[in-house]
Structures are given as C-alpha cells and as structure tokens.
C-alpha cells in the first residue's frame, strides 16, 4: 500500500498548507472522555459482557485481540496518537490497574443513543455511558479527597473541565431499526433519537464539560452486513453498490445532528462544539478507494462466503461453526490493507487511518480548523 503510506507521510505538509483558522479550536487537551459504539470501543463490550473476540481481530497492531472490532487501531486511536495522548482504556476494563490519567473510554460496541431494550446487543446505551462518566468523576473526586497516592492513575481535577468530550454514536439506532421498521418510521424517529443525545450533552455541560467533539454517522448502506441483508434487489442499491435507504437515513440523521450542534454552539457560548463529517470522508473513501491504495471497497476482509461481500451473518470474524453440515471458519484475508471493510460491519485499520488523516485536515469539521494544532509536527502516521 505504498500510495497510502505516501499520503500519510505528506499529511503534515498538507495540514500546514491549510490556512483557514478558527479561534474556537484548541487541541491541547489534557484528557479525553469518549462515548460511543464499536467505532470507538477500545474494550468496553468485551470487558463488560465477557464477550469473546477471536483472532485475527487485533492482528495488525496489537498482535492479538485488543477489545476492538478491528484488525488493529480505530479512528480514536489515531486521533489520540496525533494529540500525543495514550490510547484510552475502557471504563469497564478494571484488570491490572489501567491508567485513566489522560481520560477514559465509555464506548461499547452495539450501543445506541436510545435506551437499550431486551434485544439490544449492548446494555450500555448513551444514557448509561453518561451515568458511568458521572460515577467515574465522583469516584475520582472521592479518591483525591482522601489520598494523592493514585494521582498517576486518575485525571487531575481540572482535567474534567479542560478535557475533550468525544462522541461517535447513533449508527446502531438506525441499523437495528431497519429489521423491524419502515424507512418512513425510521426517519420519523430521528428527532427522538437526537433529543436523547441532546439530554446527555446537556448533562455533561451542566457537570462542567466545555469541549465537545461530535462525529456524525457513516454511510450505513455501504456496510457488507446491510448490503447482504437489504441489498439483494439491485434496484435498492445506489451507484456505489450501497443500500440507498440506509444511506438516506444516515444523511437525515446527520443533517439534524448538524443543526443540533449549531443550536448547542449558540446555546453554550462558553463551550466549543465541533461537528465532524465522518459520512463524507467514508463515502469519498468508498467512491475513490483505488486512489487511496485500496482494492476492495465493499467486501469484508474477515468473513465467510467469498466475493462479492464475503459476509455471512451466521458466523462472525474468527469463529468456526457448522453451516449446512460442514465446519467452516470466517478467516481473514491475506492483506487487510487492501480492504476498506474488516468484518462486514467495521473498518480495517488502514481505512481508519485514512479517515483519521482526513479528520485532522480540519476540512470536514464545523467550525473548520487547521492551524491551531500543537500536534501538527508530531503526527505518527
């Protein structure tokens, strides 16, 4: 993937050339507190539900499953790296005294913004994650009032106000709804979903949070899982081969999320609210995959079934099961850097790296940013 490597090596130069400034962006954060689903889960669901995540998950960077639904690092890992901060430990991962000094990750795979139901993949919906944050904060304050012995493991008191609060959630509210609701019903539910999200943001603001970084939802219709289930009729697909209805729902959610961010920017003049257009970055990657060094935009690297999607909902990446009387394994491909999609639902490390590089240009943010980043010369990819 030589062309990709070249792109990332030249990123610093590209960022320095970008000149539009925004005084509201300051990336010198002492800590990051993250809320989300599998797109930014660094081990929450695996720890919380004792979920099994088999090899080849984690093979690229960690050389073993790391609690991430990926062959390596996630977008959030690259963003933390760019800010010269350590990878975030999951709130629920308590073994071996993980350090939460520079932040904490409340994200859990399968999580929704709306409260979880009995059939939800994850019980850790957005409201629960916000509640976990407040328990975490109260516990930190309680420990600090008693002793300074654990200071190297927990955030300093002012980190809660000065820290960055990141959000990447909402994908599962839409994706799950398509199994039981019509497109019109799903589109009509979006204001309710975003009202729940607004309540969570408001709680965090009332608790002292001032820096909000909100990712929108990617093109759901381009995930092999959704193409396999809802795209069997070619008339349901768009020009990229993605399910039109799913991408329509993603676009409407994002339109209303952007409006909410604008509202919050006006409502909280002492806060920084940044909206990040992940949908456009990912759509561009899928549409122009070969330009960025990829060979497979829609086929899963780790799966079962072969082309065109290599995805079978009955068997997850790394698992071995008996299907139609035969024992089969969902194996990884030879070179995951050639694939945008990892397992039918999540992106590969190579794709996540590309997305992070685009996020860091500032072009896809509202308000935009470019020059106010102390990590410009520290980029490690």
Chain Cα centroid distance, residue 326: 35
Question: Quick one: pLDDT band at residue 51, thresholds 50, 70, 90?
Answer: confident
Q: Are 237 and 189 in contact (CB under 8 A)?
A: no
At residue 25, does pLDDT exceed 90?
no
Angle between helices 349-359 and 75-82 in degrees, nearest 10: 50
d(CA 172, CA 176): 6
Residues contacting 131, CB < 8 A, separation 6+: none
Mean pLDDT for the stretch of residues 178-191: 98
> Maximum Cα–Cα distance for the chain, whole Å?
64
Mean pLDDT for the stretch of residues 143-155: 95
| The model's pTM | 0.91
Q: How many CB atoms lie within 10 A of CB 63?
A: 10
Q: Are 262 and 175 in contact (CB under 8 A)?
A: no
Mean pLDDT for the stretch of residues 311-323: 96
Mean pLDDT for the stretch of residues 298-305: 98
Q: Are 348 and 301 in contact (CB under 8 A)?
A: yes
The position carrying tokens 């829609």 is 298
Q: Are 9 and 345 in contact (CB under 8 A)?
A: no
Residue 315's φ and ψ, nearest 5 degrees, are: -140, 120
Question: Quick one: pLDDT band at residue 65, thresholds 50, 70, 90?
Answer: very high
| Helix, strand, coil abundance in the chain, percent, nearest 5 | 40, 10, 50
Residue 303's φ and ψ, nearest 5 degrees, are: -175, -160
Output the CA–CA distances (angstroms, integers) from residue 60 to 73, 334, 350, in the order listed. Answer: 8, 12, 10
> By three-state DSSP, how is residue 378 classified?
helix
d(CA 254, CA 248): 10
> By three-state DSSP, how is residue 320 classified?
strand
**Tokens of residue 154, six digits:** 């927990």
- 197-243: pLDDT as tens digits: 999 999 999 999 999 999 999 999 999 999 999 999 999 999 999 99
- 272-276/365-366 β-pairing: antiparallel
DSSP state, residue 289: G
- 341-363: pLDDT as tens digits: 999 999 999 999 999 999 999 99
* Residues taking part in catalysis: 38, 343, 346
Whether residue 298 is preceded by a cis peptide bond, meaning omega within 30 degrees of 0, is: no
Q: Tell me, what's the pLDDT at 94? A: 78
Q: How many CB atoms lie within 10 A of CB 36?
A: 26
At residue 21, does pLDDT exceed 70?
no
Q: Tell me, what's the pLDDT at 4? A: 41
> By three-state DSSP, how is residue 255 classified?
helix
Which is more confidently placed, 15 or 370? 370
At residue 315, does pLDDT exceed 60?
yes
At residue 162, does pLDDT exceed 70?
yes
* Closest C-alpha among 136, 103, 143, 42 to residue 346: 42
Angle between helices 126-146 and 183-206 in degrees, nearest 10: 10
d(CA 1, CA 6): 9
At residue 3, does pLDDT exceed 70?
no
Mean pLDDT for the stretch of residues 12-31: 47
């Amino acid at each position: 993937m030589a062309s990709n490597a070249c792109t990332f090596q030249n990123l610093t130069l590209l960022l320095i050339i970008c000149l539009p400034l925004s005084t509201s962006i300051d990336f010198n954060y002492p800590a990051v507190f993250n809320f989300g689903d599998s797109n930014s889960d660094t081990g929450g669901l695996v720890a919380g539900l004792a979920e099994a995540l088999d090899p080849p998950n984690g093979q690229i960077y960690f050389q073993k499953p790391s609690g991430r639904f990926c062959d390596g690092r996630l977008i959030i890992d690259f963003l933390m790296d760019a800010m010269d901060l350590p990878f975030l430990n999951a709130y629920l991962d308590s073994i071996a005294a993980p350090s939460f000094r520079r932040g904490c990750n409340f994200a859990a795979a399968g999580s929704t913004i709306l409260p979880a139901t009995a059939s939800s993949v994850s019980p850790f919906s957005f409201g629960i994650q916000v509640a976990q944050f407040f328990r975490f904060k109260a516990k930190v304050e309680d420990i600090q009032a008693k002793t300074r012995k654990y200071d190297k493991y927990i955030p300093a008191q002012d980190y809660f106000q000065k820290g960055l609060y990141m959000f990447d959630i909402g994908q599962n509210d839409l994706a799950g709804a398509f199994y039981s609701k019509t497109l019109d019903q799903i589109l009509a539910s979006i204001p309710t979903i975003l009202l729940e999200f607004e309540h969570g943001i408001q709680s965090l603001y009332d608790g002292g949070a001032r820096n909000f970084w909100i990712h929108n939802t990617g093109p759901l219709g381009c995930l092999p899982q959704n193409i396999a289930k809802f795209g069997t009729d070619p008339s349901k697909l768009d020009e990229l081969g993605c399910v039109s209805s799913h991408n329509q729902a993603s676009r409407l959610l994002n339109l209303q999320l952007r409006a909410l961010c604008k509202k919050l920017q006006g409502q909280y003049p002492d806060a920084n609210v940044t909206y990040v257009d992940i949908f456009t970055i990912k759509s561009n990657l899928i549409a122009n995959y070969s330009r960025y060094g990829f060979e497979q935009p829609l086929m899963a690297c780790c799966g079962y079934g072969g082309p065109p999607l290599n995805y079978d909902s009955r068997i997850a990446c790394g698992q071995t099961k008996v299907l139609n009387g035969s024992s089969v394994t969902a194996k990884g491909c030879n070179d995951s850097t050639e694939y945008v999609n990892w397992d039918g639902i999540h992106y590969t490390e190579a794709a996540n790296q590309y997305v992070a590089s685009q996020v860091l240009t500032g072009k896809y943010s509202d308000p935009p940013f470019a020059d106010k980043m102390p990590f410009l010369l520290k980029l490690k990819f």
